[in-house]
Amino acid sequence: MATKQKEKKPLHLAKMNIKKGDTVLIIAGKDRGKEGMVSRALPQVNKVIVEGLNVVKKHIRPQGQTRQGGIIEKAMPLNVSNVMLKCPECGEPTRVAHDRRPMGEDKKVRVVRVCKKCQKVIADRAKE
């Protein structure tokens, strides 16, 4: 039984509002209502991997002397539409706006992510 593979977007066209290190709330699926940190963002396929959530058991075959076989638990990707970013300032699940604000020591105008509810800048945790 062959399944159709979804075509990947070119990396320069793949854009998501959720990045690695963000805290998200899952709004759909078997883990609805739980929150966790994004361990990996996959913008080409519009998916994110959340630490400890959407976990499945996977049967692994031993690979010679290097890898032992058995059943492992693995976090699987979630579609980005099924998660909602939690604002670090107000702590509420929110949508993301983009704003041009002067940032840094040189006060250069940069595009930043902004919480739709409290209008505070959402810091990029991966760059800190």
How far apart, in whole angstroms, are the C-alpha atoms of residue 14 and residue 42? 9
Q: Mean of the pLDDT values across residues 80-106?
A: 90
Say what the pLDDT of residue 7 is.
Answer: 78
**CATH number of this structure's domain 23-94:** 2.30.30.30
Domain ranges of the chain: 23-94
Question: In the chain, what is the greatest distance between 2 CA atoms, to the nearest angstrom?
Answer: 57
> What count of Cα atoms within 13 Å lies in the side-chain half-sphere of residue 104?
8
Residue with the larger pLDDT of the pair 64 and 128 = 64
Q: What average pLDDT is seen over the chain? A: 88
Say what the pLDDT of residue 15 is.
Answer: 82
What digits encode the pLDDT tens for the residues 47-68? 999 999 999 999 999 988 888 8
Q: Mean of the pLDDT values across residues 95-121?
A: 88
Say what the pLDDT of residue 46 is.
Answer: 92
Say what the pLDDT of residue 57 is.
Answer: 95
Cβ neighbours of residue 118 closer than 8 Å, sequence gap 6 or more? 87, 89, 90, 92, 94
Does 1 have pLDDT greater than 90? no
